[in-house]
Each structure stands twice: as C-alpha cells, then as structure tokens.
Amino acid sequence: MATPVLEVHNLGRAVTQDGRVKSIVDDISYNFFPDKIYTIIGPSGSGKSSLLRLLNRLDEPTSGEVVFHGKDHCDYPPCELRQKIGYLFQTPYLFEGTVRDNLLYATKNLSDESIKLLLEQAQLKPEQLDRPTDNFSGGEKQRVAIARLLATCPEVVLLDEPTSALDPSYTEAIEKLIVDIVAKGKLTAIVVTHSPEQALRIGKEALLMVDGKLVETGEINQVINEPQSELGKLYKQRQLK
C-alpha cells in the first residue's frame, strides 16, 4: 500500500462574516497519494479554493491539520513547503521580463539543461525563452506560469481553475499539458474545477464539496455519474449551483 504524500485530518477553516462565524472548510479528512491527479469539484462557494489554499498554507486552518510526508505542515519553513507544494492561480500572474526571467525568479540556479526541459514540459518553444511575456497570449502566459511552477521541482501542484480565465480555445491544450506532466513526472496534481466536464477529462479521483464539506469521493466517473449521497445526486442533476 502506497504512503500518502499529503494527509488532511479533520481540516477546518472558520471565518467571521457579518458578525457570524461561518465554516468555509468543514471537518475534511482525506489522503492524497503520489503520482495521481485529483479533481475537486462542487458548486460555486462550496469551499474548493479555500481547501486548496489550506494545502500549502496560503491560509491557516482553524482546526485539524495537514501532514506532508508524515510531518505536520507547520513544521516546514513556509518557503520550503511552497516549493514542494506549488500553487497555480486562475490568472497567470507573471513577473515583468522574459520567460527566462520568470524561471530564474523561481529558482536562481537553473542550468541551461533544466531550462530546456522546463520549456519542453510546458510546451513552450525555445525561441520564446528570451522574449518578454507581456505580448504572450493568455494560453502562453499560463504555460510560462506552469514552467515556473515546475522550476522548483514540486511534488504536489495545486491548480485552481487553471483554464477558467483563459480563452476557451486554450482549455484543451492546457488540460492535456497537465495530464502529460503528471503522467511523465513524479508529481501529484490537485485541480479545482467548477466544470464536471473538465473533471471527467482530466481527473482520475474526485472530491465533491458542498457547503465546505466533503460529500463524495472516489473515481471521477462514479462521483459525477453515479453519486451515492443525496447532495451528490443533486449536484449531478445540476440543482446545486
């Protein structure tokens, strides 16, 4: 039996909104195993992004814990943790300058060989390396962000709706890129998507969240098409928005 790379134990985050305490991530427990793709699905506001942010300490939990390689999250220096558990935002925020500048910003001592490999992994052309990224298309910018994410050799990547801010014409290529990277590298990807169709295209294992709770987990096709829980069935019928 494989050992989980990331364990989530009774994880919770409560926030105060309009004077009332609200549980946006509510008592979630789950094990993520190495070299797999997981998709987190659920209606808008169900806590998908909030859970993802807890996984690399962009936010702190108010209860429970996250364990990375058998050691509590909090026992890692945040910088080291964020290199090993990388985060890709919906909108590709790049630093000013060229693709090379962006890669070197992530990791100072990248060899030419490593840079070449990163370009290949993110399916960028060698001639793009020294071009400023401000004229790049949305899809190309997201590829640069993916190359930069991979530059620190993460073991887990957290992708929050990686295609939703892009022109739909880039969606398929970026989805394929994510699947390829996980298939070729030693990497676990956890992808948040609001689209069950996208989850079916890229994910193997799915986690369905509703109101901050994990209501269904399992093989993606089963979670989406043959849910067992009442909330899962409502989600399937598109009755939860």
Ligand X SMILES: Nc1ncnc2c1ncn2[C@@H]1O[C@H](COP(=O)(O)OP(=O)(O)OP(=O)(O)O)[C@@H](O)[C@H]1O
Tell me if 109 contacts ligand X by CB under 6 A: no
Instruction: Find out whether 78 and 72 touch, Cβ atoms under 8 Å.
Output: no
Site for ligand X in 141-200 (CB under 6 A): 194
Q: Give the integer Cα–Cα distance in Å for 48 and 193.
A: 8
121 binds Mg ion (CB under 5 A): no
Question: Considering only 38-46, 123-131, 142-150, 167-175, which stretch makes contact with ligand X by CB under 6 A?
Answer: 38-46
CB closer to ligand X, 47 vs 86: 47
Residues from 13 through 32 that contact ligand X (CB under 6 A): 15, 17, 24
Of residues 40 through 59, those in contact with Mg ion by CB under 5 A are 49
* Coil vs helix vs strand at 153: coil
Number of amino acids touching ligand X (CB under 6 A): 12
Cα gap 60→15, rounded to integer Å: 11
Q: What DSSP string runs through 116-138?
A: HHHHHHTT--GGGTTSBGGGS-H
Contact present, 217 and 53 (Cβ < 8 Å): no
Q: Is the distance from CB of 19 to CB of 68 less than 8 angstroms?
A: no
- The binding track of 166-205 with respect to Mg ion, each residue x by CB under 5 A or -, is ----------------------------------------
Question: Quick one: which segment of 37-45, 67-75, 101-109, 113-121 binds ligand X (CB under 6 A)?
Answer: 37-45
Cα gap 40→47, rounded to integer Å = 10
* Cα separations in angstroms, 118 against 77, 124, 150, 155, 159: 25, 8, 7, 15, 18
User: CB under 6 A: which stretch of 29-37, 48-56, 100-108, 130-138 binds ligand X?
Assistant: 48-56
Which residue of the chain is nearest Mg ion when measured via CB? Answer: 49
Q: Of 17 and 237, which CB lies nearer to ligand X in the complex structure? A: 17
Residues near ligand X (CB under 6 A) are 15, 17, 24, 42, 44-50, 194
